[in-house]
Every structure is written in C-alpha cells, then in structure tokens.
Amino acid sequence: MQILKLRYHPILIGGIGCCGLMALLWTACSTEECYDNKNTLPQAGFYMVDDGSISQVSVSGMEVYGIGAPGDSVLSTGSSSVSELYLPLRIDSDMTSYVFKFYLDRSQEPPITVSDTVKFSYSAAPRFVSAACGVSYVYDIEDIRNTGHMIDSVVCVTPQVTNAAVENFRIYIHYEAPAPTDTIPESDENF
C-alpha cells in the first residue's frame, strides 16, 4: 500500500485559516440584538371622536416643533398628512414641550393658523439594555397638559415609555376647527 503525501501551499493554508478566523470573529461580535429599536422615542397617534365613535385620523397641514429645543426641532413641516408621529423627550430636562401649528387656510397671506402647545412632564432614568446595545432611557410620564384650541386632549396610553414600538400617546383633535389665531406660544408657562 502506498501512502500519498499531499503538499499544501502555505498561501492556501494561510488564506483558509484567515477566512475561518474572520468568520469566527464575525459571528462572535454580532450585535443582532441591537438591530431592534435602541432609542426611546414615544409614538403619538392622532384620533377624533365623532358621535361617540373613536377613529384614528390623518392630519394634514400640521407643523410640529419643539419649544426651547436645541438645533432643528421640526418634527412635521405640515407638507404631508400624518396619522402618527414620534415625539422625542429630552434627557437633560424633566419637561418637553411641542407646538402643534394647524394651517386652516394657506390661501390667505399670512396663512390662517391655530396653534396648540403640549407639555409633557416626566422623570427619566437610564436603563442598561445589554453589553452590545448599551444604555437607553426610560421615561415615567407624570403629567400632560395642552392648551385645547385644536387639540382636545392628550392621553397617555402607556405611562412608562421604553424603547418598545408601541403607541404611547393618543392626541384627540376637535371635530370642528376653532376660530383661527395667529399667536404662536413661545413658552408654556401659562397653562
């Protein structure tokens, strides 16, 4: 019986070994658990009550922006209809306020608008998610106030806001638009 000796080229062995090591490291460092939402972004849906029936609605011509927020805080420009919206809460404060500006008639100059302010009060606490994902924040909603012009009320569906993809707030819009105002609140101290 004859024994056949195979000779392997050193470059081939090195290439196979390197590919095997890379595959091992790729799976060992995988952060698949972090493909899910890591950010705590409360979601709000828009609703209307008509004849005792609650229905989700799409709101058109609504601009939403933060009060006292650093940088660009425009969440909706009013150029498209929205039925839900993410409303980020600040981690450097225990309060976040938004202006909801409704364009009732853009054909006028200046446009006819009605504005509401919504103020969220909460406590924020960091929560360790995992070694791969790091930390996210949990918000315990303590109070929600709104001015009540076009927005009838804001209801907290889940009092603890986490990174779960659920609707946290329901914003109820008046069935009929109120008289227009041109005032845009710059602070929410009055409500």
The pLDDT score that the predictor gives to residue 26 is 42
Q: What is the DSSP letter of 40?
A: -
The pLDDT score that the predictor gives to residue 23 is 46
Residues with Cβ within 8 Å of 39's Cβ and at least 6 positions away in sequence, in order, are 136, 163
Across the chain, mean pLDDT equals 80
The pLDDT score that the predictor gives to residue 129 is 77
First to last CA, the chain: 97
Burial 143-157 (b: 16+ CB within 10 A, else e): ebebbebbbbbbebe
Which of residues 70 and 65 earns the better pLDDT score?
A: 65
The pLDDT score that the predictor gives to residue 171 is 97
Residue 69: exposed, middle, or buried by beta-carbon count in 10 A (0-12, 13-18, 19+)? middle
Over 80: is that where the pLDDT of 29 sits?
no
Q: 145-169: per-residue pLDDT in tens? A: 999 999 999 999 999 999 888 999 9
Percent of the chain with pLDDT over 70: 71
Q: Are residues 82 and 75 in contact, defined by beta-carbon separation less than 8 angstroms?
A: no
Percent of the chain with pLDDT over 90: 46
**Residue matched to tokens 């500006």:** 101
Q: What's the rounded mean pLDDT across residues 18-29?
A: 45
Nearest to 138 by CA among 121, 155, 122, 154: 122
Structure tokens at 124: 């924020």
Q: 66-123: per-residue pLDDT in tens? A: 998 766 688 988 889 999 999 999 989 999 999 999 998 888 888 889 999 999 999 9
Residue 44: exposed, middle, or buried by beta-carbon count in 10 A (0-12, 13-18, 19+)? buried
Q: Are residues 87 and 67 in contact, defined by beta-carbon separation less than 8 angstroms?
A: no
The pLDDT score that the predictor gives to residue 178 is 64
**Residue matched to tokens 């315990």:** 140
